[in-house]
Chain A
Amino acid sequence: VCIHRVRSCSSIRFIKSKYVCVFDKSALKFSHQQRLFRTSAVSCGQIVQFKLSDIGEGITEVTVKEWYIKEGDSVSQFDSICEVQSDKASVTITSRYDGIIRKLHYSIDDIAFVGKPLVDIEIDASKGVASEEDVVETPPMSHEEHTHQEIKGHKTLATPAVRRLAMENNIKLSEVVGTGKDNRILKEDILNYLAKQTGAILPPSPKAEIVPPQRRAEAVPAAPKDKARKIPVPVPRPIAFAGKDKTEPVTGFQKAMVKTMSAALKIPHFGYSDEIDLTQLVQLREELKPLAEMRGVKLSFMPFFIKAASLGLLQYPILNASLDENCQNVTYKASHNIGVAMDTEQGLIVPNVKNVQVCSVFDIAVELNRLQSLGSAGQLGTSDLTGGTFTLSNIGTIGGTYAKPVILPPEVAIGALGKIQVLPRFNSKGEVVKARIMNVSWSADHRIIDGATMARFSNLWKSYLENPASMLLDLK
């Protein structure tokens, strides 16, 4: 393969470049390694030592703080290689070449010296070598930085990065109109050319040169219906889709969730769902909301749902229990610590309101406000997140009607509340009226809870909410 390369290389003449493509024996050794890293068929390269260029202000040494690449990575010209620091200045060192990183001369926290090699880069020989001048500050397009390539006697000026872009998209540089200095072909010119060919919207380059994405208005020239004129239809160039799969390890909180949910599914769940008419509750809340606001508290529906659940648990304490590991003993918990599922940036967390059995609806509202503000600030404490005995998940605030919630061990029951919808229903007189309907889906541990218990609990909870005045009778 290497020999083939030599033949094709010899047809390219380098003008004004100070270095001629040299194939030494060591390059041949790398040929088999290239295949692993490169997508193109190149096999021979030249190792160039990229030296740390002048930082300015007479600085001779810097500390290497972070590497952005590792040995074996491909780099393009202008890609960031590493971050070094010198006396309160943080400097981003970028690559002068396209190629593969072969060696890092320093580790993190080492002192690096200006003028000494920083990394070794293996350059694709056919692309030529840029001159050994310092990267620093010549006016943007200096002649020395580019290789001139003669293709069919037509001189085209372009940087190696632009060349690569053209090659990847099968574009002949001779066909592209250069808008840069000396008719130099710029990256925008390639993008424009591509867009005209495909009529596609190309994503703006990541270094955000302010080139607005080409609009769809540039349609591909259609094949003329007139068959007499044989105008060839341009072959649509494949758009390079740069998306790649991303694999990340499961860590921290996610790892814990994996464990908990795996344990939860060992519990034999059964589900029970029902529909609740909240028309009266909606009205009640409207009346009470301003009163709560005067006391500085936001009143949602949850405090009512939670209190009603607690009243129900007084009648059906098995739902507020816990089964031990060997299923030998059931512990009936005295406190009703009702958990409220909360969606945060991290994911699902379930803080709980302690001792609902002795709290008023207002107390619950206050506590919910506190938990919600802590939750969104990411400052919930361990006591807020432990000790729960029963959980309600108000998924309806996001959406949905019916759900199949998963019980959170060591609890034995959970309820998922759907959204409140306005639906037509028949009243006792047989008339169609507007009703506020919410669906609830319960899941319970079938090892110690049977369907009848769940149904009766649900009916009781439902009756409290459909007729809020009845809650007054049983409030403790």
Chain B
Amino acid sequence: MVLQSLKNCLWLPCVLRTPKACFWSTASGGLIIQSVSNDVYQNLAVEDWIHDHMDLEKQQVLFFWRNSPAVVIGRHQNPWQECNLKLLRQKNIKLARRRSGGGTVYHDLGNINLTFFTTRKKYERMENLKLVVKALKAMRPQLDVHVTDRYDILLDRKYKISGTAAKLGRTSAYHHCTLLCNADKFVLSSVLKSPFKGLKSNATPSVPALVKNLFEEDPSLTSEMLLDAIAKEYAMQHQIDHHITLINPADETLLPGIRNKTQELQTWEWVYGKTPKFSISTCLNMVYKDSVLDVKVNMDVKHGRIEVCNIDLPEQWLPPGLYSELVKSLTGSKFCPNETTTLVTTLLRLCPQGDELHSRWRLLCENMIRLM
């Protein structure tokens, strides 16, 4: 296997759809690339870039990438529903929303991601997954792996080692899947469990599954070996050289416009704001002095912002002017703990002074923030 730095070659296949000669046309049929970055946003941006800019008519692309710990939700999913956001923030695990559909996955360096880029006509998920299975079996014939009709790859007929998602555009398409080699299953199961109660939404739900690492089945396997085997199989099927070209997702000259794409994937508007409309109906149990207050909260959240907010407080618990001020300010505001914290603490400056009032306000607001 030869790893070639791309700086040595002109990246001309990116010239869009003009009938100019493709530099790589001599090595036509396919191209295998691997990202040098472990940043989930950069790697997702590369997918976007290839999808938008490369002419896949002449050659298809296989892209390998791995990420440092991150949770990746599908295009139409709800992060509050899918994962434990508090835990993510605590452990500094990134949250990303990809452009393809499907469910939520946990990535870390023990997981390989594979993306198969083709024209829209040649989009064929089953073939891609069969390729992966073939590669695995060629390496370790005793491995019991097969593809289900839900496009999962199962180990021993029971454990999911790969999940799939896809994105189709006007002329090109991509199918990507994960492959669990040696991921941290403990973190995986704890971050993918959402403590949220009372959430109603039409967002795509994830289907939880039992998972297992290939490494557990055969400790001699490493990510590099798996990558190599799959590359070999792909190269064989596309009749190309078994070369993996390294690319740097931060290279703006190689991939013009990649920085913007990376930025966009990190904005709040994309990660949280693209959540389909949902509603929350829950009860805050607030311990105040010697009693426990049950406060019903109902909220509608659209584009990640609070559209409607109702808090059922006991009569006169907060001065009515203050309560309406709170509700008015929350309406239109992001369903985000940081935004809400700064909002409520700023509003507190306008409150008449008084420890009693302040502590009630703080209690209510802290409970509200905990929801987010």
Contacts and interface: CB of A to CB of B under 8 A. Distances in A.
A257 B168 contact: no
B29 interface: no
B341 A252 contact: no
Given A88-B103, A90-B100, A252-B329, A346 B352 contact: no
B349 A263 contact: yes
B166 A88 contact: yes
Interface residues of B, number: 69
Contacts of A256: 329, 342-344, 346-347
B139 interface: no
Contact of A349 (B89, B101, B334, B342): B342
A51 to B, nearest CB: 15
B326 to A, nearest CB: 10
Contacts of B166: 88-90
Contact of B350 (A108, A260, A346, A381): A260
Contacts of B341: 380-382, 385
Contact of A89 (B101, B276, B365): B101
Contact of B345 (A88, A322, A382): A382
B202 interface: yes
B19 to A, nearest CB: 6
Given A89-B100, A210-B14, A255-B332, A382 B346 contact: no
Nearest to A56: B123
Given A109-B202, A136-B120, A386 B167 contact: no
B168 A90 contact: yes
A331 B99 CA distance: 56
Interface in A212-260: 249, 251-253, 255-257, 259-260
Interface string A412-443: 00000000000000000000000000000000
Contact of B75 (A65, A108, A255): A65
A253 B343 contact: yes
A83 B75 contact: yes
A86 B347 CA distance: 45
A56 B75 CA distance: 20
Given A249-B332, A325-B352, A385-B341, A90 B99 contact: yes
B101 A88 contact: yes
A421 to B, nearest CB: 32
Interface string B152-180: 00000000000011111111010000000
A87 B204 CA distance: 10
Nearest to B75: A90
Contacts of B102: 88-90
Contacts of A140: 17, 57, 171
Given A89-B167, A259-B350, A137 B345 contact: no
B358 interface: yes
A92 B350 contact: no
B169 A92 contact: yes
B275 to A, nearest CB: 11
Dominant secondary structure of chain A at its interface with chain B = loop
A78 interface: yes
Nearest to B125: A57
B362 A386 contact: yes
A349 B344 CA distance: 12
B14 A252 contact: no
Contact of B164 (A88, A135, A255): A88
A331 to B, nearest CB: 7
B232 interface: no
A85 B76 contact: yes
Contacts of A346: 338-339, 342
B339 A263 contact: no
A109 B352 CA distance: 47
Nearest to A181: B19
A382 B366 contact: yes
Contacts of A40: none
Nearest to B358: A386
B111 interface: no
Interface string A353-381: 00000000000000000000000001111
A10 interface: no
B170 A78 contact: yes
A175 interface: no
Given A208-B256, A255-B332, A92 B346 contact: no
Interface string B272-289: 001011000000000000
Interface string A90-106: 11101000000000000
Contacts of A349: 342
A382 B346 CA distance: 10
Given A88-B101, A137-B120, A324-B352, A386 B76 contact: no
A303 to B, nearest CB: 23
B329 A255 contact: yes
B94 interface: no
Contacts of B167: 89-92
A85 B204 contact: yes
A379 B346 contact: no
Contacts of A135: 170
B293 interface: no
Contact of B53 (A56, A87, A179, A210): A210
Interface string B309-348: 0000000000000000100110011100111111111111
Contacts of A209: 16-17
Contacts of B325: 259
Contacts of B365: 382
A271 interface: no
Contacts of A188: 18
B119 interface: yes
A158 interface: no
A55 B101 CA distance: 14
B151 interface: yes
Contacts of B123: 56-57
B170 A210 contact: no
A386 B345 contact: yes
A259 B100 contact: no
B208 interface: no
A276 interface: no
Contacts of A396: none
The 10 closest A-B CB pairs, nearest first, are: A252-B333, A88-B102, A385-B345, A251-B332, A90-B101, A89-B166, A256-B346, A137-B121, A378-B338, A91-B168
22 contacts: A56-B120, A66-B276, A88-B101, A89-B100, A89-B102, A89-B165, A89-B166, A90-B100, A136-B120, A140-B57, A140-B171, A181-B19, A209-B17, A253-B346, A255-B333, A259-B325, A263-B349, A324-B353, A346-B339, A379-B338, A382-B365, A408-B349
Given A90-B102, A324-B353, A386-B358, 5 more contacts: A85-B204, A88-B102, A90-B167, A253-B343, A386-B348
